[in-house]
C-alpha cells in the first residue's frame, strides 16, 4: 500500500534541524521585506492624519509585523531559496 502524498501547496514535515534552518530563512526574508517596505514608503505618516512623534517611533514595528505576515502567507520565495542554500551548505560541512 502506497502512502498518500501531502496535498499540493502543503509542505512535508521537516526534520528538527531543517526546521531551524527554515525558521532562519524565514526570518531573513522577513527582515529583507521589512527593509523593502520601508524603502517603498510604507509606514510613513501622512501630514493630514499623522499621529506625531509617537507614530513615527512605532511605525517600524508595524512594518516588521506586516513583513512577517507576508512571509507567513507564502512570501516571495526568498525563504525557500535561502533554506535550500543553507541546507546544501550544512550537509556539505
Burial per residue of 59-93, b for 16 or more beta-carbon CB atoms within 10 angstroms, e otherwise: beeebbebbbebbeeebeebbbebbeebbeeeeee
Q: Is residue 81 part of a domain?
A: yes
The predicted-structure confidence for 1-15, as pLDDT tens digits, reads as follows 566 665 566 566 788
Domain limits at 65? 16-38+58-92
Answer yes or no: is 29 within a domain. Answer: yes
- Give the total number of structural domains in the chain: 1
> How confident is the model over 5-48, as pLDDT tens digits?
655 665 667 888 889 999 999 999 999 999 999 999 887 776 66
Considering only CA atoms, which of 43, 45, 25, 24 is closest in space to residue 34?
A: 43
Is position 31 within any domain?
Answer: yes
Amino acid at each position: 500500500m502506497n502512502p498518500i502524498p501531502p496535498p499540493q501547496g502543503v509542505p512535508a514535515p521537516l526534520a528538527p534541524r531543517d526546521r531551524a534552518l527554515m525558521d532562519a530563512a524565514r526570518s531573513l526574508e522577513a527582515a529583507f521585506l521589512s527593509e523593502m517596505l520601508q524603502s517603498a514608503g510604507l509606514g510613513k505618516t501622512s501630514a493630514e492624519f499623522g499621529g506625531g512623534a509617537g507614530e513615527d517611533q512605532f511605525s517600524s514595528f508595524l512594518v516588521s509585523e506586516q513583513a512577517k505576515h507576508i512571509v507567513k502567507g507564502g512570501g516571495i520565495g526568498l525563504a525557500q531559496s535561502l533554506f535550500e542554500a543553507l541546507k546544501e551548505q550544512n550537509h556539505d560541512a
